[in-house]
Amino acid sequence: MKLYAEVVFPLPINQRFLYEVPAVWADQAKVGSRVLVSFHNRTLTGFILRLKKRRPTSTFKTKEITEILDENPIFSSSILMFTQKLSEYYYSSLGELLQAALPAGYVLKSKQEVFITDKGKKALTGNELSVEEKKLLNLYMKGPYSEQYVKRNTGLKNVSALRMRLRTKGLVRIEKTIRKAAQKTLTLSDKTPTQLEMDFSLDAELFQSAQKISSFVGKNVFSSFFLFGPSNKREPIYFNLIKKNMALKKSTLFLVPEISLTETFKNKMKKRFGERAALIHSQMTQKQRVSEWQRIKEGDTHIVVGPRSALFAPLENLALIIIDEEQDESYYQKENPTYDARQGGWIRAQQESALLIYGSSMPSVERYFHAKQQNYLVPLSKEERPYRARIIESRLNKWNIDLRVRQRILENLKQNNRVLIFFNRRGYAPFLICSHCSSVPRCTRCDIGLTYHKNEQKMICNYCGFTVPEFNRCPECGRKIIFGKSIGIEAIEEELHRFLPQAKISSFNLDAVRNKKEQEKVIERFSAGEIDILLGTQLLVHQRDLPPVSLVIALFPETSLSLSDFRASQRTFQNLSQMTSFLKQEPQSEFLIQTSFSPHFSIRHAAESDFLSFYNQELKYRRMMKYPPFASMVEILFYGENLRVLAKNSRKFLSLIEGLSDQVEVLGPAFAPVSRVRGQNRVQVILKSKKKRELDKILSDSLHHIKIRKSVYVYENFK
pLDDT tier at 559 (50, 70, 90 boundaries)? confident
Our count of domains for the chain comes to: 5
Domain assignment of residue 595, yes or no: yes
- My answer on whether 209 and 293 are in the same domain is yes
Q: So what's the pLDDT on residue 97? A: 95
Q: So what's the pLDDT on residue 348? A: 96
Identity of the residue numbered 156: L
Of 622, 647, 663, the one marking the end of a domain is 622
Q: Is 91 left (phi over 0), alpha (psi -120 to 50) or beta?
A: left
Q: Using a pLDDT cut of 70, give the percent of the chain over it.
A: 90
- My answer on whether 358 and 242 are in the same domain is yes
- My answer on whether 551 and 411 are in the same domain is yes
Highest mean pLDDT among 177-181, 481-485, 526-530: 526-530
Q: So what's the pLDDT on residue 410? A: 94
pLDDT digits over 564-594, tens only? 889 999 999 999 999 998 999 888 899 999 9
- My answer on whether 611 and 572 are in the same domain is yes
CATH (domain of 78): 3.40.1440.60
DSSP string computed for 520-560:
HHHHHHHHTT--SEEEE-HHHHT-TTPPPBSEEEEE-GGGG
Q: So what's the pLDDT on residue 202? A: 77
- My answer on whether 594 and 698 are in the same domain is no
pLDDT over threshold 70, residue 630: yes
CATH (domain of 565): 3.40.50.300
pLDDT tier at 148 (50, 70, 90 boundaries)? low
The SS3 of residue 57 is: coil
What's the mean pLDDT in 454-462?
83
Domain assignment of residue 482, yes or no: no
More reliable by pLDDT, 163 or 183 = 163
Q: So what's the pLDDT on residue 396? A: 62
pLDDT digits over 97-118, tens only? 999 999 877 776 656 677 878 8
pLDDT digits over 273-309, tens only? 776 778 888 777 778 888 888 888 888 888 999 999 9
pLDDT over threshold 90, residue 184: no
For the chain, the average pLDDT equals 85
Domain assignment of residue 416, yes or no: yes
Of 178, 213, 230, the one marking the end of a domain is 178
Of 55, 76, 100, the one marking the end of a domain is 100
Backbone angles phi, psi at 305, to 5 degrees: -120, 135
Domain assignment of residue 451, yes or no: no
- My answer on whether 226 and 339 are in the same domain is yes
Continuous segment of H or E residues that includes residue 408:
helix 403-414
Q: So what's the pLDDT on residue 157? A: 64
- My answer on whether 91 and 233 are in the same domain is no
pLDDT tier at 75 (50, 70, 90 boundaries)? very high
More reliable by pLDDT, 496 or 718 = 496
pLDDT over threshold 90, residue 544: no
Q: How far apart are CA 535 and CA 496, in angstroms?
A: 10
- My answer on whether 308 and 220 are in the same domain is yes
Q: How far apart are CA 344 and CA 350, in angstroms?
A: 10
pLDDT over threshold 90, residue 419: yes
Count, in order, helices (H) and strands (E) of the chain. Answer: 21, 31
pLDDT over threshold 70, residue 182: no
pLDDT digits over 368-395, tens only? 999 999 999 999 987 777 889 999 988 7
More reliable by pLDDT, 319 or 122 = 319
- My answer on whether 345 and 412 are in the same domain is no
For residue 656, the cross-strand partners are none
- My answer on whether 657 and 693 are in the same domain is yes
- My answer on whether 35 and 82 are in the same domain is yes
Q: How far apart are CA 473 and CA 237, in angstroms?
A: 62
What is the domain extent for residue 606?
Answer: 388-428+487-622
Domain assignment of residue 481, yes or no: no
- My answer on whether 351 and 288 are in the same domain is yes
Domain assignment of residue 480, yes or no: no
Cα angle value 594/598/602 (rounded, 5°)? 75
Residue 359 has a CB neighbour count (10 Å cut-off) of 25
- From 425, 441, 182, 437, select the one nearest 290 (Cα to Cα): 182
pLDDT tier at 512 (50, 70, 90 boundaries)? confident
CA contacts within 13 A on the Cβ side of 201: 15
More reliable by pLDDT, 455 or 51 = 51
pLDDT digits over 226-267, tens only? 999 998 899 999 999 998 998 899 999 999 998 777 777 877
What's the mean pLDDT in 693-716?
88
Q: Is the peptide bond before 669 cis (omega within 30 degrees of 0)?
A: yes
Domain assignment of residue 107, yes or no: no
pLDDT over threshold 60, residue 194: no
pLDDT tier at 186 (50, 70, 90 boundaries)? very low
Domain assignment of residue 462, yes or no: no
Q: So what's the pLDDT on residue 484? A: 60
Q: So what's the pLDDT on residue 397? A: 63
pLDDT over threshold 60, residue 627: yes
